[in-house]
Structure 1
Amino acid sequence: MVLTEVLFVVVAALVALYTWFQRNHSYWQRKGIPYIPPTPIIGNTKVVFKMENSFGMHLSEIYNDPRLKDEAVVGIYSMNKPGLIIRDIELIKSILIKDFNRFHNRYARCDPHGDPLGYNNLFFVRDAHWKDIRTKLTPVFTSGKVKQMYTLMQEIGNDLELALQRQGENNSGSFITEIKEICAQFSTDSIATIAFGIRANSLQNPNAEFRNYGRKLFTFTVARAKDFFVAFFLPKLVSLMRIQFFTPDFSHFMRSTIGHVMEERERSGLLRNDLIDVLVTLRKEAAAEPSKPHYAKNQDFLVAQAGVFFTAGFETSSSTMSFALYELAKHPEMQQRLREEIKEALVEGGGSLSYEKIQSLEYLAMVVDEVLRMYPVLPFLDREYESMQGQPDLSLKPFYDYTLENGTPVFIPHLCTAS
């Protein structure tokens, strides 16, 4: 009798859950928005579950679907959550510029307790905190600061030449190598030197700490796939499922490394105008006004900015370099044209290239821009709509008679124009 009652309760719960999912999955149909029919329970993430495609590529395929070419938006379901792929250029401008104050949060989230480095960094932080942190970190990214660090980039460039020369000498002048790994070593050393004032020496030792932890962070495993999937598609479950964007060992490495570098910088008084200087300044500001709240009173907040600067910097740069070399290998005529431009610049500069000279190389800029168009470092942007108190919600008129609801995720594919 008890077993029968338990089975009845379980079946009733499953039926109720299925009905709830089906109700959610009829949302866009009820609202009169063009949509992609979802798979029961998992929505439009089936290709991700089956590892047939990435979600970014899937969004681009939907964007490029000929049946939807005249639609301004397309409704999809991130599991059970209704979301929108934005196709119309004016709506994209509205989301990213005109009405950005309604879309400043990403849909993806991190757990504030289980993953403080993920939660506190500029990529995931939410609401007014994002604007405050961005204002504090902007000075690191000015063209003037980049120019000041150019000599450090040249040093790493010399290390790259020596590393390739060693491989050639060890292999009688001819060798096969994984170019993505070489580019990752180069960008890892560059970020470590430019942002943290540390010689990571990845080009000399491919298993050096910085490269080793960076490699692990992006190595595919079932556990890492689960963390990324929940963070981006089921963000409300990140705390329940103890999701971590930064792995525990990577977090420990960044805390010990950045903490040591900051203490050394404060002790020596050395100024390099890099990210560490900004973080040290923030910590001094917090210490100067102990009675007032300040982000920098939390050491994990400071380490989080360094963590995302490192991970976002080395992976995006190395991927762009790798794709550029790949395309140049496929198009030798373009490779030759670029080579001639660089050779001419080297002759004019007496064998070296100044920062200003690199900025003036038009064909090089064209190559980089085209690579970024074909292989964007992020396959899509995700944003979450936020209602503003005292103001009407954003309408999709004249395209559709629909008003966005608070918390609606929107997705803007970047691969939609790639060939």
Structure 2
Amino acid sequence: MQNMWIIFTIIGLVVLGLVILLIMAARYQRDYWHYLNIPHERPKKLWPIVRQIVTQSLSTEAMKTAHYSALYSKFKGSGPFCGFYALLQPRALILDRELIRQIMIKDFWNFNDRGLYCNQKTDPLSGDLFAMRGQSWKEMRQKLDPSLESDRMSWLFGSLYEEAEQLLLTVTSTLMKQPHSTLHIQKLMRRYVLSALAKCVFGLDAQQRLKYSLEDFEKMTEMAVSSHKHGYLMNLMMIRFPNFCRVLQMRRTPKQAETYFLTLLSDIVGQREASGVRHQDYLQLLVEIKALELITHQYQADKELNTHLQNELAAHAVVFLKAGYEQTANTLSYILYELAIHTDVQATVREEIKKAMERHDNNLNYECVQSLAYLGQVINETLRVHPITPYILRRTLTDYQVPDHPNYMLVKELFLIIPTHAIHHDPDIYPEPEEFKPDRWGGPRDSLQEQGTWFGFGVGARSCIGIQFAQLQLRLALALLLMEYEFTLNSRKPLVSLDDGIALQLTPLGVIEPGTEERAV
């Protein structure tokens, strides 16, 4: 009996010791930035944190953006970065432009991790360029970079032009069917971008859409982009403990979406490889990369290797949906919104398009679209006011001593936040930041300055690989729409977020009679 008491006492002491260690670790975690003497925001009280975890009340993107902007304004000038806490986890918000350049460009090798979970073995669509890190990311980027260089865009121009024409026809037909001239613009822009990606990246031309309809494609895209296999806590665990979660073979892509895209691409790629016909779209470039990889390996007929490369192809195709679908459609909607408010800017863009077409024999060809310098300024200014990503997330691969700041260390696996929206609206960088002024971009460009102050498509080696593709989508749609319609704001209510919707009034610049929509295009 006495031995039992001794055992219970020992177990009780061990449990008590573990509880004390846990409390000490939590206390240290909560005071991490205080111990390092780094300017920081104090963490929340313990109860609100527990309640947020239990209720799984996520912070929205708007809430995070406002929080990071407040931190930026409060601590700017106090040092190269400040500290804050996400639940109990210490994170750093980068304040200094020079440190941003070091993170994004100069010492990029140590910051090429976006902090996203991927597991290529059990979740092949998660193994994309957006989520990869380290050497795996570098090798994939080197393979794919040549496929989206600017000289390739002229090759894709025809396919994208057809989609932009279809957008114009859809707008015209919609206006002809309703008694008023007002359109909620985001839905149309999303359909245009989705259809263009379906055609150019997935090979869904008119014939293929008989089997794989655009409606099903849209449904699966929404599932892959917006939904997750697990709930809040499990997704948080995959980000915090990725190696452990890979051992458990956890995945984040819904199985139905994975099956759909793998089947679709396997079918279409198989048809192309069997026929030998070379198509003029981006999928063709991916097929050629896959074929080159097979040739350079010793065992060309290796079924496992072929499956791996096919999965890589699928992951890269799907990343266009993850990183380009909503983002490009939202940017288009914002541009039209700003042009509807600033009709003088809209008139200037329209005049530039007219003059450019006159120089190119009234042909809106690739060279004509690329020559629209002022339209480029409008796109840049829209991306400043309404950045695609309101903040950039990075995670350090190894400990990093901040140059010229001996007391500032970015430790291994630390999450870093670059507050894009706050920097884009900093009056010390952009005077009158809330004003829409495309002329900001009309003078000589200081590329070194922009590396730390403008993040329209990211900065450095990990910038958006599809910059040229997205730019061409934007320019084509805007050029065709602005040549046919004048856009004005339907309401005086200012736009708070895209969730509220953008209602624009369209006035035809020429007379379009019922039944002549095709001719109008």
TM above 0.5: yes
Q: Is the 8 A contact 2:81 2:96 kept in 1?
A: yes
Shift of 1:93: 0.9
Equivalent residue in structure 1 for 2:72, among 64, 77, 82: 64
Closer/same/farther in 2, CA of residues 235 and 76 from structure 1, 3 Å limit: farther
Asked if 1:183 is matched to 2:194, the reply is: no
Q: Distance in 2 between matches of 1:219 and 1:324?
A: 24
Contact 2:80-2:95 within 8 A present in 1 as well = yes
1:27 alignment counterpart: 32
Q: Is 1:199 aligned to 2:205, yes or no?
A: yes
**Residue in 1 aligned with 2:43?**
38
Q: Sort the Cα spacing of 1:251 and 1:259 in 2 relative to 1 into closer, same or farther, 3 A.
A: same
When residues 229 and 62 of structure 1 are mapped into structure 2, their CA distance, relative to the original with a 3 A threshold, is: farther
Deviates more, 1:47-56 or 1:398-407: 47-56
Cα 1:40–1:251 shift into 2, 3 Å: farther
Aligned residue type for 1:307: V
AA partner of residue 33 (structure 1): I
C-alpha spacing 1:333/1:282, structure 2 compared with 1 (3 Å): closer
Q: What corresponds to 1:309 in structure 2?
A: 320
Partner secondary structure for residue 83 of structure 1: strand
How big is the shift at 1:206? 9.8
The whole-number CA distance in structure 2 between the counterparts of 1:262 and 1:282 is: 12
Residues 15-66 of structure 1 show CA distances to partners (whole Å, capped at 9, x for unaligned) of 65444222112111111211111125687x9799645642640453244323
- CA shift for structure 1 position 339: 2.3
CA 152–278 in structure 1, closer or farther in 2 if over 3 Å, else same: closer
From 344, 364, 379, give the equivalent of 2:375: 364
Unaligned runs of 5+ in 2: 1-7, 426-433, 435-521
Amino acid at match of 1:72: P
Distance (Å, rounded) in 2 between the aligned partners of 1:64 and 1:332: 33
- CA apart distance, 1:396: 2.2
| Distance (whole Å) between structure 2 residues aligned to residue 121 and residue 379 of structure 1 | 22
Shift of 1:94: 0.9
Q: Which of 290, 294, 316 is matched with 1:283 structurally?
A: 290
Aligned 8 A contact 2:225 2:322 in 1: no
Residue 99 (structure 1) aligned with residue 107 (structure 2):
yes
- Contact residue 79 and residue 234 of structure 1 kept, 8 A: no
Question: In the superposition, relative to structure 1, how do residues 351 and 369 fare at CA in structure 2: closer, same or farther (>3 Å)?
Answer: same
Structure 1 segment 289-328 matched on structure 2, within 5 A = 289-291=297-299, 297-298=307-308, 299-328=310-339
Greater shift, 180-189 or 234-243, is seen at: 234-243
Deviations 1:342-388 (A, max 9, x none): 2333444444312112222122111100111122222222222223x
Q: 2:229–2:254: 8 Å Cα contact kept in structure 1?
A: no
CA contact (8 A) 1:167 1:175 kept: no
Which deviates further from its counterpart, 286-295 or 401-410?
Answer: 286-295
Q: CA deviation at 1:408?
A: 2.0
> RMSD of aligned C-alpha atoms?
3.7
Q: Which residue number corresponds to residue 401 of structure 1?
A: 407
Q: Is the 8 A contact 2:230 2:252 kept in 1?
A: no
Counterpart of 1:305, as a letter, is H
**Alpha-carbon separation, structure 2, partners of 1:224 and 1:329:** 40
What TM-score, normalized to structure 2?
0.68
How far did residue 274 of structure 1 move?
A: 4.2
Q: Distance in 2 between matches of 1:324 and 1:224?
A: 35
Matched, 1:170 2:174: no
Q: Which amino acid aligns with 2:188?
A: I
1:223–1:255 Cα change, 3 Å: same
Q: 1:90, CA displacement in angstroms?
A: 0.9
The structure-2 alpha-carbon separation of the partners of 1:403 and 1:227, relative to structure 1 and needing over 3 Å to count, comes to same
**Which residue of the partner structure matches residue 256 of structure 2?**
249
Match of 1:144 among 119, 126, 151: 151
Question: How far is the alpha carbon of 1:331 from its aligned partner?
Answer: 2.0
The alignment-based identity, stated in percent, is: 24
> What amino acid maps onto 1:373 in structure 2?
R
Equivalent residue number for residue 352 of structure 2: 341
Contact 2:229/2:251 (CA < 8 Å) preserved in 1? no
Q: Structure 1 59/234 Cα, relative in aligned 2: closer, same or farther at 3 Å?
A: farther
Q: What is the deviation of 1:195?
A: 2.2
Question: Residues 245 and 378 (structure 1 numbering): CA distance in 2 closer, same or farther, change over 3 Å?
Answer: farther
Q: Which residue of 2 aligns with 1:75?
A: 83
Report what 2:160 is aligned to: 153
Q: How has the CA–CA distance of structure 1 residues 147 and 278 changed in structure 2, closer, same or farther, with 3 Å as cutoff? A: closer
TM-score (norm 1): 0.83
- What SS does the aligned partner of 2:91 have? strand
Q: How far apart, in 2, do the equivalents of 1:104 and 1:327 lie?
A: 34
CA contact (8 A) 1:152 1:193 kept: yes
